[in-house]
Amino acid sequence: MFVTLVKKKGIETAIPPLQGLKAAAEVASIPILGSATDIILSILEIIKNLLSLDEICVKTYASVQHFEQNIARINATLQRIEQTVALMKHSEPALKFEGVFIDIVPRSHFTPFEVITDGPGYSLQKAEMCSGKIITIKVFTCCKAKSTSKASYKLESKVIHSNLPHLFGMSSPDSERPFLVYDLDIMDHIEGVILSWMRQNVDEIMYMCAGMIHGISSALNSLSEQAGLFDMGTKNFDILWDARGRVILSLCPEMTSSSTALASPEDHTLRLLRVMDDICVNIFHSVNHTRYNDEPDRTYTMRSITQVDEDTSSLASSSQPSSKNVIPPRRELVWQAGAGRDTDLHKISQEYGSFVRGDKHFRQHVRRIHAQVGNPFLHHQCAAYQREDLTLTHAILDNRVVLFTVPSFGEVCVVCGTVLFKSIRMSHVSEGSFVFGK
């Protein structure tokens, strides 16, 4: 006679076949055994059904979860379709201006509710469509608002890129206050977003900054290739962050209306790299200044470096210290231009893009090095002082964290709060230079 082994919560129970129990009950001569056997058979039948039901429930639960995930994806797709249809319904028939079709969005179809940027001759504002969709509008306030808005539309409609605002309409030609409409939900200026990153560990901060650098370099490269823009500068952009987690480069009106902006100089590669460098330097400087409210002069400190040692110790210190008695290190972002490197925006974008898209589990820790500084004119010696310079550059493999134990002139010490001033004798010090090794 065969038995069935049923495992429940780690315990195996042997259940004999029901046919065998029935046959034994018929052969037995004890009268009460028949009734008892019927009861036992009923109980065993119920147990068997319950065990089968348990398996069915587990499989049903898994199927329901999978179904709910599919429903969520379908709902998200339907929502995007509805928003797109709403945008189409809220726009009037397109007009043609100098060969470019213009989708007209009536002023009554959206409500502005937040100013993002007030620039010279324009204003960037968040607005809500009648459908509930959040958009961004660029309102032109300069004396040549109408001509500037049309020139901006003509130029921006040529370029399609994920890190540039997606333009889909503008005001009517006879509008007293012309505006452009973007399918864009802005969260904050890039500096505000980076400030929120600074609470993370060093590796995560460097990863997030890598994503930003990838977006900036890729957008600048597309502007040069698709729109022929080369003579650009930091003042020509508002650097923003949207709800989808992307850095966005919004062109200022003076850039789109400039007659010299479309000239392509022979050294455009170097010009574009310089724009990239200036943007990153300005962003990082703004973040550092907001965090510590000082203006350190790092020039002499960098020239006074006598030795650089690779840090092979544990990276546990890369996170903010958990003990209340430990003073966290001063943490700054540094952009170092790759002087002398044979590179361009396309190479930078490709390199950083491959890193950002890579699997996090196989990502290596950022290289950490200690910088020994010999500074005879700096007598401030707080033993607990530490500074982490999160240094990024054109080549992602050259990114590193440089650790300092000596502050710089003009810096507010994070330990005692003292401001360090230069000595008069500094004017007699000969200037040298130092470049970090790979």
Average pLDDT over residues 56-60: 67
* Residue 202 reports pLDDT greater than 50: yes
* pLDDT given at position 341: 64
Specify whether the CB–CB gap between 335 and 260 falls below 8 A.
Answer: no
Specify the amino acid at residue 151.
Answer: A
Q: In what order do the strands lie in the sheet with 305-310?
A: 305-310, 367-373, 400-404, 387-393, 330-336
* Residue 28 reports pLDDT greater than 70: no
Q: Which of 58, 73, 88 is the last residue of a domain?
A: 73
pLDDT cut 90: percent of the chain above it: 36
Specify the amino acid at residue 229.
Answer: L
Q: Which two tokens stand for residue 372?
A: 């020994």
* pLDDT given at position 430: 39
Strands 134-140 and 167-170: unpaired
What is the torsional sign of CA 177, 179, 185, 188?
negative
Tell which wins on pLDDT, 209 or 84: 209
pLDDT tens across 281-308, in order?
A: 999 999 999 999 999 988 765 655 655 6
Q: How far apart are CA 212 and CA 148, in angstroms?
A: 29
Q: Which of 73, 102, 120 is the last residue of a domain?
A: 73
Spatial CA neighbour of 363 closest among 397, 326, 316: 397
> 348: Cβ–Cβ under 8 A, 6 or more apart, which residues?
213, 217, 276, 394
What is the torsional sign of CA 24, 29, 33, 34?
positive
Tell which wins on pLDDT, 86 or 21: 86
Give CA angle at 146 (143, 147), nearest 5°: 95
pLDDT tens across 220-264, in order?
A: 999 988 887 777 888 889 999 999 999 999 999 877 665 444 445
* pLDDT given at position 215: 97
Specify the amino acid at residue 332.
Answer: E
Q: Which of 48, 73, 98 is the last residue of a domain?
A: 73
Residue 340, in any domain of the structure? yes
Q: For 236, how many CA atoms within 13 A lie in the half-sphere containing its CB?
A: 19
* pLDDT given at position 99: 60
Helix (H) or strand (E) holding 76: helix 31-89
Residue 291, in any domain of the structure? yes
* Residue 31 reports pLDDT greater than 70: no
Q: If you average pLDDT over every residue of the chain, what do you get? A: 78
Tell which wins on pLDDT, 86 or 397: 397
* pLDDT given at position 434: 38
Residue 402 pairs with which residues in a beta bridge?
Answer: 369, 389
Domain span at residue 366? 275-428
Residue 327, in any domain of the structure? yes
* Residue 125 reports pLDDT greater than 80: yes
Residue 314, in any domain of the structure? yes
Specify whether the CB–CB gap between 356 and 210 falls below 8 A.
Answer: yes
Q: How far apart are CA 356 and CA 202, in angstroms?
A: 15
Q: How far apart are CA 137 and CA 161, in angstroms?
A: 18
Output helix, strand, coil percentages for the chain, rounded to the nearest 5: 40, 25, 35
Q: How far apart are CA 172 and CA 124, in angstroms?
A: 18
CB atoms within 10 A of CB 300: 17
* pLDDT given at position 423: 57
- Residue 402: DSSP 8-state: E
* pLDDT given at position 300: 60
Residue 33, in any domain of the structure? yes
| Cα–chain center distance at 30 | 80
What are residue 224's phi and psi, to 5 degrees? -70, -40
pLDDT tens across 110-119, in order?
A: 999 999 999 8
Q: 190 pLDDT band (50/70/90 cuts)?
A: very high
Q: Which residue's structure tokens are 């709403």?
A: 86
Least trusted range by pLDDT, from 76-80, 412-416, 424-428: 424-428
Q: What is the tally of structural domains in the chain?
A: 2
* pLDDT given at position 165: 95
Q: How far apart are CA 17 and CA 3, in angstroms?
A: 6
Residue 68, in any domain of the structure? yes
Classified as helix, coil or strand, 136 is: strand
Residue 348, in any domain of the structure? yes
| SS3 annotation, 89-107 | HCCEEEEEECCEEEEECCH
pTM of the model: 0.72
What are residue 44's phi and psi, to 5 degrees? -65, -35
Q: 435 pLDDT band (50/70/90 cuts)?
A: very low
Residue 437, in any domain of the structure? no
pLDDT tens across 151-175, in order?
A: 888 888 888 999 999 998 889 888 8
* pLDDT given at position 220: 94
Q: Which residue's structure tokens are 């038995």?
A: 3
Specify whether the CB–CB gap between 233 and 239 falls below 8 A.
Answer: no
- Residue 142: DSSP 8-state: S
Specify whether the CB–CB gap between 154 and 180 falls below 8 A.
Answer: no
Specify whether the CB–CB gap between 284 and 416 falls below 8 A.
Answer: no
